[in-house]
Amino acid sequence: MTEKSPENSGALFLNTGRRGVNAPDYVGTITVDGKRLEVAAWVRDGREGEFLSLHVQAPASGRAAPGKKPPYRRRATPEQVARAEAQRARMMR
């Protein structure tokens, strides 16, 4: 069965294979005018709070087809990060 996205729609998924700070937080595809495009999104901080910054491009040729998707890993909440940093600080005393 072939998978076809409805026109003018798409999906973003957490980028669990992220390598480096400049890699997108989310990746996915969108279908516009019958063409499938790649979408990348970064979580940014702005004056009004967090927002998504998007980049859309034609699929890169020559890229290896993705294999089995890695398991979903949820990003740590600010509270979890603060708790981990406090614990590390106590251990370094």
pLDDT digits (tens, 9 = 90+) for 32-82: 998 999 999 999 988 999 999 999 999 876 554 555 555 666 777 888 888
37 CB neighbour count, 10 Å cutoff: 15
Residue at 36 is within a domain: yes
- Number of domains within the chain: 1
Residue 56 lies in a domain: yes
- Is the pLDDT at 2 greater than 50, yes or no? no
* Model pLDDT, residue 41: 93
d(Cα 81, Cα 46) in Å, to the nearest integer? 21
User: Per the confidence metrics, is the pTM higher than 0.75?
Assistant: no
Residue 1 lies in a domain: no
Q: Give the whole-angstrom CA distance, residue 9 versus residue 28.
A: 11
Does 14 score more than 80 pLDDT?
Answer: yes
Please answer whether residues 30 and 5 qualify as being in contact, where contact means their C-beta atoms are separated by less than 8 angstroms.
Answer: yes
Quick one: pLDDT at residue 91?
77
| Choice between 48 and 89, residue whose per-residue pLDDT is larger | 48
- Find the domain containing 39 and state its range: 9-61+68-92
Q: How far apart are CA 28 and CA 59, in angstroms?
A: 11
Domain contains 81: yes
C-alpha 55/C-alpha 75 separation (Å) is: 21
Q: Is residue 17 part of a domain?
A: yes
Q: In the predicted model, what is the mean pLDDT of residues 11-25?
A: 88
Q: Give a yes or no: residue 2 inside a domain.
A: no
